[in-house]
Structures are given as C-alpha cells and as structure tokens.
C-alpha cells in the first residue's frame, strides 16, 4: 500500500487530506508542524508527501531544503494558500526533487491527477514500496 | 535690492565719465593748466588709454594709447608715483604726441590712480600757467588722484556687486523652491518669484517677514530652529490646505569695508502634492495588503469546505435531499473560491503587481489610443528635493513616451502581459526591453531616468524623462501608470479608463 505523509497546521485540512487519501487506498500519516515532518521522514518510508508551506515550527521551504539535503527521493505536492511562493519552491527544488504546486483550496480532481502523475513518474525510476529514505 | 543690469563696463558708464571729467576739470582749473588728461590702464594690452582729454589737442588724443613705461605718464603708471617735469625737453624727455600734434609740452605733473595698491590709471596736468609745477601742486593732484581712485573703486565694486547680484538673482529665480533672504532685523532682502507665487504675494522685498508670513505658528517654528534646521507647516488659504517645508540656514557677508552682516536664508518647498501622493500610496498599500491578507486567510477554511463537500457529493448512499444540500454547499464553496481569486487580483492591481493574462488582444490599438490622448497642452514639471527639473512641450514628451513604448514593445514583445477587462485596459511590460535607454538605473532609488534626445529636433537639450513625470502626464490625460520595482526589473502599468 502506498504511503503518504500529509503536513498542515490546520486540523480540518489534515482531516480532509487524510480522508481523501484513505478513500484512494493510501496509508496516511499526518504531521501538524515542520519538526514533526522531519521526525516522521526519518522514521518512515513515504511514497508521497503533501506539504503546506506556512506552518508552525519549521517553515515548509526549510523542510524542502532538508528533504533535498538528506537525499530523499519521494515526490512532493506543495499545497499552500500563498500562490506567489511557487517561485521560491521552484528555486529550491528545481532539478533536485519532483514537486507539484497547488494553491488552496485545491480542486481534488486536480490533486488526484498530480498524485497519479508523480507516482507514475516515480514508479518508472524505482518500484513503489522500496526504501526511498536515502 | 535688485540692481539694474549693466550691459557695459563700468569705465564706459556715462555717469562715471562725467564725474571723472568734473574731477579732471577741477584739477586743470586748480592747477591752472593748459591741458589735462586722465589715462586708464588697459590690462589686456598693458597700455595706458587717453580716457578723458582736456585741452587744445583733446580731439586728436582721445582714445590714443601709450605703453606703460613710455613717456612720463607711462612711467608714472609703471612706478606708481607722481612725477613733476618742468621743461621736459631740457630734461631729455621727448613727447611723441608733441611731435605728432605740434603741441609743445612746457611742464607736466602726473599722479598715479591707485586702488588697493594697484595702479589703474594716471591723472596728468600739462603746461602750468602760473609757473612751474611744484610740490604743492603735486600734493593737490595727488589728493584729486585719490578722489578719482576712490570714485573708480566704488564704481568697479559696484559693477562687481551688480554682476554678482544679477547672477545671484538669476540663480535664485531659477530655483524650484521658494527663497527668502532676511537680514538680521527680519526684513526681506531678497526673494524669488517662486516664493511670491507660493505665498500669493508680490514685491515682498523690503517687507518684514511677519507681514509676508502672518502665521504665528510658522514664525514661532522659525524662531525655534534658531535659524538653522527645517520644519513642515500647513498654510490654509482660500479654503485650501497647503503643506510647506521650511529649511533655514545662515550666511555671513563681509563687505569691502570689513563690516560683517548676517543673513538668514529660508528655503520653502511646496510639498502638498508629495504628501497627498504619499498618503494615497500608503492607503493604497494598506488596502492592498489587507485585501491580499483576507484572500489568503479565506483560503484556509475554504479548503476543507470545498474538499469535503466535493468528496461527499460523490457518495451515492445519501438520501436525495442530503445530496441536494451537499451540492449546494459544494456550489457555494466553488463560488467563494472564485471570489477569493478575484480578491487577490484586486490586491495585486492595487499593489501595482502584474497579473498574468493569456488573452490575445490588439496591443498596438490599445497603445495608440493611450498615446493619442497626449497630443495637447504644455507641460512643465518640477520634481521635489533630490531630483531635477524637467521642462518640455507636449509634442516632445508624447513623442518620447511613444518612442519608449515602441522600442520596449519591439525588443521584448514576448514579455508583454496584457489584460482587457471590462471597459478598463491594462498594459504591462517590463524594463528589460529598455536597457538601451536606461542610464544608471541601479544607482537610483526611486526615480529611474529615461534618457532621450529630442526626437523632433535631435537636440539633447531636455534629456531626462522620469517616471513621476510620465505619471503626471498620463494623469493629465486620465491614464494612470504604476510601477513595480524589483532588484533589476521595473514593470510599468498603464491604465486608461474606457470611453
């Protein structure tokens, strides 16, 4: 079963993503701040991460930098209320990480399209389920 | 206090010549001489010029020249002391003009005209009728020479003063701000046209400052600065509020006689427009920030409403009325999402940020419509402190703007972003297309300078066109331009109300 980590500091949004991915057959993990994300990434294998940017604890952009530094290869969907942050996200991740950007509130069909696209792309490189922590 | 402009050298002044002639006549009369001459040194050629000549040979000698050192007058000038020569021929002096004119010089007394140690001429009397010239006659001539020197000095100083005053007046008049120069008794010694226009008063020189500026708070503020420093003040006149910036400084003048006088210089700038613009800018920014913040904040609660309702609406096992309710919630949240997007666009427009539009439009027709409105009126704008003055006629300015736009569009047309929204037209483009026109952009904080030659005449006389100026011109024509500046990118937006 594909495993996703959803990170957002708003409980109702976490709930939405959790229910959405559960319905789609994913195993879902959640984190409500940036530090929690780091901790969960170190201890789990994820096939996908859905990440908010303006979160408590650690900023989402910093989380992305850490992900790249640590050499994680899972794809990321950034979902934020601040559309202008796309440039910053691109600047940090371009050529280093598979990232899709969505502005809140996301269209769930569009979200699913991006999930499928990223997982298919990732599956070409390596089979889902392998250790992608390093 | 303004002196009349002199167009001729002081030594050509009719008044002075008459005065000098009177002194020369006096010398000739007192010293009972047949002839008298006043020479002035021509510094350009190091010659003595026969300036005023009395006597039988006057017409022949007037305007003639001798070298300094030549003859007795020349020697007087060179050595800076008086000479008495009775019967010069016997003493071995030969006067070349005697030879030329047939005049016979029997006796001669010459004294130098000295100002501040410098010989500026010679006064000479010839052929004493009452016997030889002697020490007594020498003293008399020297006294008269001193008087002539003094008159000349005053006149020369006057000329210098007059020249510097004319220069000062023209400088003061050309300043964009108002200038008042006060003496230590608070009397206005000088002012310029700008200050007269600002205060709505004429011929203020010679008046007390308190008569011209009858505002207690301003006079009090002036006193508080101890005549050094600045403050802002509001003047209410004819139901209108004007904001002025007052800057005070002191200046000392030392007259030729060594008397020190202190002046207070008050520079007055009308900052009403700037303050109004700053206030509007602040309000606009605050408004934009609020709207942008609102848009971002609304997105968060909207996310679960839209997301969960979209998930629920696909559930098949709900009763029909529940399905209907969920559809309504979902539809309303979609509507809200659209409104949130619009809010952000409004905030971007308010903050002068470009919004990307993919719609295809006829750009040239929009631009030509904007530009066609710029073909009337004459413009003269003065920028505030730290800037420069721009003057120009409408044709030149509109052509320049047209050139700016044309070149910008030609070179980087793919960077243009354009929106036609309702009756309003927005045109966006960035500065990368104008690299060849922009000088020292990086050095300027707020006023990028566009440098052009006059496209009509080829003159570079008026070179600078700045954004505040463009903005003002466009405002005159109901076209608004706004600017977004990043580190190395400048975006301009034109907004024209549809007809």
Residues of A in contact with B297 (CB under 8 A): 81
B299 near A CB under 8 A: yes
CB contact under 8 A, A103 and B299: yes
Q: Is-same-fold flag (B10-163; B276-350)?
A: no
- Whether the pLDDT of residue B381 is over 80: the answer is no
Compute the distance between CA of residue B422 and CA of residue B425 in angstroms, rounded to an integer.
8
User: How close B300 comes to chain A (CA, Å)?
Assistant: 7
* Section B461-490 average pLDDT: 43
Mutate to test the interface with B, among A85, A87, A103, A105 (most CBs of B within 10 A): A105
Residues of A in contact with B310 (CB under 8 A): 107-108
At B59, phi and psi to the nearest 5? -65, -35
- pLDDT, greater one: B197 or B109: B109
B355 near A CB under 8 A: no
Of B299, B308, B333, the CB nearest to A104: B299
Position B91 confidence tier, pLDDT thresholds 50, 70, 90: low
B311 near A CB under 8 A: yes
* Section B109-126 average pLDDT: 87
Q: Do residues B24 and B54 touch, judged by C-beta distance below 8 A?
A: yes
Residues of A in contact with B311 (CB under 8 A): 16, 19-20, 23, 108
Of B296, B311, B333, the CB nearest to A20: B311
User: How close B168 comes to chain A (CA, Å)?
Assistant: 55
- Whether the pLDDT of residue A24 is over 90: the answer is yes
Compute the distance between CA of residue A4 and CA of residue B268 in angstroms, rounded to an integer.
68
The dihedral sign for the CA sequence A60, A63, A65, A68: negative
- pLDDT, greater one: B171 or B268: B268
Place of tokens 């050595």: B79
Domains, chain A, ordered by start: 3-107+119-125 (3.40.50.2300)
CB contact under 8 A, A13 and B297: no
**Parallel, antiparallel or unpaired: strands B65-67 and B47-54:** antiparallel
Position A16 confidence tier, pLDDT thresholds 50, 70, 90: very high
pLDDT tens column, A109-130: 999 999 999 998 877 444 444 4
> What pLDDT was estimated at residue B20?
77
For residue B347, give both structure tokens: 């905030």
Domain boundaries, chain B: 10-163, 175-270, 276-350, 363-496
Return the CATH class of domain B175-270. Answer: alpha beta
User: How close B297 comes to chain A (CA, Å)?
Assistant: 8
Q: Give the number of C-alpha atoms closer than 13 A to the C-alpha of residue A39, restricted to the C-beta side.
A: 11
At B191, phi and psi to the nearest 5? -155, 170
Q: Do residues B26 and B54 touch, judged by C-beta distance below 8 A?
A: no
Position A38 confidence tier, pLDDT thresholds 50, 70, 90: very high
B304 near A CB under 8 A: yes
A12 near B CB under 8 A: yes
User: How close B307 comes to chain A (CA, Å)?
Assistant: 6
User: How close B487 comes to chain A (CA, Å)?
Assistant: 16
- Give ipTM to 2 decimals: 0.84
Length of chain A: 134
For residue A86, give both structure tokens: 């796309």
Residues of A in contact with B307 (CB under 8 A): 13, 16-17, 20, 105-106, 108
A82 near B CB under 8 A: yes
Of B297, B303, B311, the CB nearest to A23: B311
Place of tokens 């949130």: B340
- Whether the pLDDT of residue B477 is over 50: the answer is no
Conformational region of residue A50, where left means phi above 0, alpha means psi within -120 to 50, and beta covers everything else = beta
CB contact under 8 A, B304 and A103: no
Residues of B in contact with A81 (CB under 8 A): 296-297, 299-300, 303
Record: fold of B10-163: Beta-Lactamase (3.30.450)
| Cβ neighbour number for residue A134 with a 10 Å cutoff | 7
Q: Do residues B267 and B178 touch, judged by C-beta distance below 8 A?
A: yes
Q: Do residues B3 and B162 touch, judged by C-beta distance below 8 A?
A: yes
* Section B251-257 average pLDDT: 64
pLDDT tens column, A85-109: 898 999 999 889 999 999 999 999 9
Sheet holding B178-182, edge to edge: B188-191, B178-182, B260-270, B240-254, B229-237
Q: Do residues B226 and B250 touch, judged by C-beta distance below 8 A?
A: no
On average, the pLDDT of chain A sits at 88
* Section B247-272 average pLDDT: 76
Q: Which long-range contacts does B48-52 make (Cβ < 8 Å, 24+ apart)?
A: B48/B73, B48/B74, B48/B77, B48/B121, B48/B122, B51/B11, B51/B20, B51/B121, B52/B17, B52/B20, B52/B21, B52/B24
Does 1.10.287 match the CATH number of domain B276-350?
Answer: yes
Inter-chain Cβ pairs, chain A and chain B, closer than 8 A: 49
Q: Do residues B179 and B212 touch, judged by C-beta distance below 8 A?
A: no
- pLDDT, greater one: B417 or A33: A33
């Amino acid at each position: 079963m594909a495993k996703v980590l959803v990170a957002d500091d708003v409980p109702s949004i976490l709930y939405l993503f959790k229910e959405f991915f559960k319905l789609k057959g994913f195993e879902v993990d959640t984190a409500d701040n940036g530090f929690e994300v780091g901790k969960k990434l170190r201890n789990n294998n994820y096939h996908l991460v859905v990440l908010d940017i303006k979160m408590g604890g650690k900023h989402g952009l910093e989380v992305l930098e850490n992900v790249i530094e640590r050499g994680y290869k899972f794809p990321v969907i950034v979902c934020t209320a601040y559309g202008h942050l796309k440039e910053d996200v691109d600047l940090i991740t371009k050529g280093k990480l598979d990232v899709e950007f969505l502005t809140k509130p996301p269209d769930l069909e569009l979200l699913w399209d991006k999930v499928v696209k990223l997982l298919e792309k990732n599956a070409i490189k390596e089979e889902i389920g392998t250790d992608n922590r390093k | 206090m303004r002196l009349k402009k002199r167009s001729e050298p002081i030594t050509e002044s009719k008044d002075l010549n008459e005065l000098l002639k009177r002194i020369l006549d006096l010398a000739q009369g007192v010293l009972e001489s047949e002839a008298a001459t006043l020479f002035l040194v021509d510094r350009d050629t190091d010659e003595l010029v026969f300036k005023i000549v009395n006597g039988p040979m006057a017409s022949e000698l007037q305007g003639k020249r001798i070298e300094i050192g030549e003859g007795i007058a020349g020697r007087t000038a060179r050595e800076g002391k008086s000479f008495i020569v009775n019967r010069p021929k016997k003493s071995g002096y030969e006067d070349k003009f005697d030879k030329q004119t047939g005049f016979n010089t029997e006796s001669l007394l010459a004294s130098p005209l000295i100002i501040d140690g410098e010989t500026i001429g010679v006064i000479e009397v010839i052929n004493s009728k009452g016997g030889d010239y002697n020490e007594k006659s020498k003293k008399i001539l020297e006294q008269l020479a001193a008087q002539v020197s003094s008159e000349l000095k005053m006149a020369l100083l006057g000329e210098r003063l007059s020249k510097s005053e004319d220069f000062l007046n023209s400088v003061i008049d050309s300043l964009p701000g108002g200038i008042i120069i006060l003496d230590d008794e608070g009397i206005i010694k000088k002012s310029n046209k700008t200050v007269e226009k600002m205060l709505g008063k004429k011929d203020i020189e010679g008046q007390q400052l308190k008569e011209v500026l009858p505002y207690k708070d301003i006079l009090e503020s002036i006193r508080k600065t101890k005549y050094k420093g600045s403050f802002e003040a509001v003047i209410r006149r004819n139901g209108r509020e004007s904001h002025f910036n007052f800057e005070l400084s002191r200046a000392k003048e030392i007259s030729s006689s060594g008397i020190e006088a202190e002046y207070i210089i008050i520079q007055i700038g009308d900052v009403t427009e700037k303050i109004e613009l700053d206030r509007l800018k602040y309000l606009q920014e605050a408004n934009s920030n609020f709207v942008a913040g609102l848009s971002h904040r609304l997105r968060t609660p909207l996310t679960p409403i839209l997301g969960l309702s979209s998930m629920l609406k696909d559930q098949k096992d709900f009763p029909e009325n529940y399905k209907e309710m969920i559809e309504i919630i979902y539809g309303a949240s979609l509507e809200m999402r659209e409104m949130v997007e619009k809010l952000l666009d409004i905030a971007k427009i308010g903050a002068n940020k470009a919004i990307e539009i993919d719609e295809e439009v006829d750009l040239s027709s929009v631009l030509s419509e904007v530009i066609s409105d710029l073909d009337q009126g004459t413009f003269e704008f003065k920028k505030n402190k730290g800037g420069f003055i721009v003057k120009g006629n409408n044709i030149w300015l509109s052509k320049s703007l047209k050139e700016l736009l044309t070149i910008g569009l030609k070179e980087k047309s793919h960077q243009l972003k354009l929106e036609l929204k309702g009756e309003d037209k927005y045109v966006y483009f960035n500065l990368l297309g104008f690299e060849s026109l922009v000088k020292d952009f990086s050095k300027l904080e707020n006023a990028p300078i566009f440098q052009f030659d006059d496209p009509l005449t080829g003159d570079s006389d008026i070179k600078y066109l700045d954004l505040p100026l463009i903005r003002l011109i466009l405002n005159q024509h109901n076209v608004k331009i706004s600017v977004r500046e990043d580190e190395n990118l400048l975006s301009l937006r034109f907004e024209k109300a549809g007809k």
